[in-house]
Amino acid sequence: MSRDFVHESRPGRVVFGVGAGSLLHAEVERLGLRRLLVVCTRGQAELAARLVVPLGGWVAGMHYGARMHVPVQAARDAAARARELEADGCLAVGGGSAVGLAKAVARESGLPIIAVATTYAGSEMTSVWGLTDAGGKTTGRDPRVRPAVVVYDPALTVTLPARLSLTSGMNAVAHAAEALYAPDASPITSLIAAESVRALTAALPRVVAAPDDLDARSDALYGAWLAGSVLESTTMSLHHKLCHVLGGTFDLPHAELHTALLPHVLAANLPACPAARDALQNALGAADPATHLFHLAGELGAEMSLAALGMPADGVDAVVRRVLEAPYANPAPVTETGLRQLLAGALAGATPAPPASRRS
Given a cut of 90, whether residue 131 has pLDDT beyond it is: yes
Which has the minimum average pLDDT: 63-77, 134-148, 222-236? 134-148
**Strand spans (E) along 149-260:** 149-152
End-to-end alpha-carbon separation of the chain, Å? 29
Supply the angle between the helices 72-85 and 96-109 in degrees, to the nearest 10. Answer: 60
Q: Is the pLDDT of residue 151 over 50?
A: yes
Q: What Å distances lie between residue 332 and 155, 230, 264, 293, 355, CA to CA?
A: 40, 20, 13, 20, 12
Supply the CATH classification number for the domain 13-157.
3.40.50.1970
C-alpha 194/C-alpha 99 separation (Å) is 25
Give the integer Cα–Cα distance in Å for 170 and 91: 25
* 140 neighbors 128 (Cβ within 8 angstroms): yes
Alpha-carbon span 297 to 47, nearest angstrom? 28
The mean predicted confidence, pLDDT, of the chain is 94
Domain boundaries, the chain: 13-157, 162-354
> What is the 8-class DSSP label of residue 40?
-
Residue 3 has pLDDT above 80, yes or no: no
Do residues 262 and 174 touch, judged by C-beta distance below 8 A?
yes
**Cα dist. 173→26, 162, 178, 195, 262 in Å?**
31, 16, 9, 10, 9
Cβ pair 118, 93 in contact under 8 A: yes
Q: What is the pLDDT of residue 134?
A: 82
Third-level CATH fold of 162-354: Dehydroquinate synthase-like, alpha domain (1.20.1090)
For residue 197, pLDDT beyond 50: yes
Distance CA 177, CA 279 (A): 9
Grade residue 69 by pLDDT with cuts at 50, 70 and 90: confident
Interval 38-61: pLDDT, tens: 999 999 999 999 999 999 999 999
- Number of neighbouring beta carbons within 10 Å of residue 155: 16
Q: Compute CA 305 distance to the chain's CA centroid, rounded to the nearest angstrom.
A: 20
Distances (CA, A) of 228 to 43, 121, 305: 23, 8, 25
